[in-house]
């Protein structure tokens, strides 16, 4: 089942209660708590507090976002971040890859070796780690991510995927299809009037296809999969609610079409 979630990083400066209120009003089903002023790595007491606040607000914990870089930061930092995610009861933890060097062979070797090590560690506590695409890193393109993740093929190491506007729908869809079973989290563009990105409703047909492919990838069809919104503001709440409503509507429609169980 496709669920929607709001990252706390989207409302930097807001209180946890304000974030939870905004998520509820927009119709989101979950929240991602990040290290951006909300949950420092190692603060297990705060992790437990945020977990309880989120559940009491009728929302789920979608993930824990950190600035840890695989094959760059010391492994002890990952161990502590993982303990924090566990205290938060997050099923996913977002991290990043190391900066790219001049040696593609070395980057590939280091990434595969480290990602397997981290994935094995995360598997012991049932948390999936999701690495994001970012310029200047080992995962600086969808093409490179496709090659590396297929070589890795670890059940607890996935990609945080987003349909980058520069790709265009056809290319983005081909890449997503090529990553079947390797995507752990889908990132949604924001519809702020100040943003260059459009409302999801303006590219509705594209997102119907993305949601369909996300729901159909490997694993149980009843497995929770999150579409994460990473930006929001007070003025954009109605626009955010519109985007969230569209995703929820088509998620239900697709499952009804396949005669699946709807939660």
Predicted pLDDT of residue 261: 46
Place of tokens 């190692």: 42
CA distance 251 to 222: 12
Residue 181 main-chain phi, psi, to 5 deg: 85, -10
DSSP 51-120: HHHHHHTT-EEEEEEEEEEETTS-HHHHHHHHHHHHHHT-SEEEEEEPBP-S-HHHHHHHHHHHHHHHHH
pLDDT tens digits in sequence order for the chain, 263 residues long = 889 999 999 888 899 999 999 999 999 999 999 998 999 999 999 999 999 999 999 999 999 999 999 999 999 999 999 999 999 999 999 999 999 999 999 999 999 999 999 999 999 999 999 999 999 999 998 889 999 999 999 999 999 998 877 778 898 898 888 888 899 999 987 544 444 555 576 788 888 888 888 888 766 666 788 999 986 554 467 788 888 998 988 888 877 776 554 44
Q: What's the pLDDT score for residue 165?
A: 72
pLDDT at residue 86 in the model: 98
Place of tokens 């699946």: 260
Q: What is the DSSP letter of 199?
A: P
Both tokens assigned to 139: 């995962």
What is the distance between the alpha carbons of residues 251 and 257, in angstroms, rounded to a whole number? Answer: 10
* pTM of the model as a whole: 0.91
Q: Which helix (H) or strand (E) holds 187?
A: strand 183-188
Calpha distance 159→122 (Å, rounded): 15
Cα separation, 109 vs 102, whole angstroms: 13
């Amino acid at each position: 089942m496709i669920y929607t979630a709001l990252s706390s990083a989207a409302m930097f400066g807001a209180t946890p209660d304000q974030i939870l209120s905004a998520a509820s009003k927009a119709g989101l089903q979950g929240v991602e708590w990040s290290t951006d002023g909300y949950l420092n790595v190692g603060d297990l007491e705060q992790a437990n507090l945020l977990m309880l606040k989120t559940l009491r607000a009728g929302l789920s914990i979608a993930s824990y976002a950190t600035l840890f870089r695989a094959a760059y930061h010391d492994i002890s930092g990952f161990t502590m971040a993982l303990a924090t995610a566990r205290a938060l009861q997050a099923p996913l933890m977002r991290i990043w890859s190391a900066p790219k060097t001049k040696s593609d062979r070395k980057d590939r070797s280091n990434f595969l070796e480290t990602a397997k090590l981290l994935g094995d560690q995360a598997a012991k506590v049932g948390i999936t780690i999701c690495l994001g695409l970012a310029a200047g890193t080992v995962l600086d393109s969808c093409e490179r991510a496709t090659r590396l993740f297929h070589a890795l093929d670890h059940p607890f190491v996935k990609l945080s995927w987003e349909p980058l506007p520069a790709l265009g729908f056809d290319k983005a869809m081909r890449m997503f299809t090529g990553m079947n079973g390797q995507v752990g989290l889908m990132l949604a563009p924001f519809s702020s009037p100040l943003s260059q990105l459009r409302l999801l409703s303006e590219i509705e047909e594209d997102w119907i296809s993305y949601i369909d492919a996300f729901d159909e990838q490997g694993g149980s069809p009843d497995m929770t999969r999150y579409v994460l919104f990473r930006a929001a503001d007070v003025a954009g709440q109605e626009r955010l609610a519109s985007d969230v409503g569209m995703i929820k509507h088509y998620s239900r429609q697709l499952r009804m079409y396949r005669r699946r169980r709807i939660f």
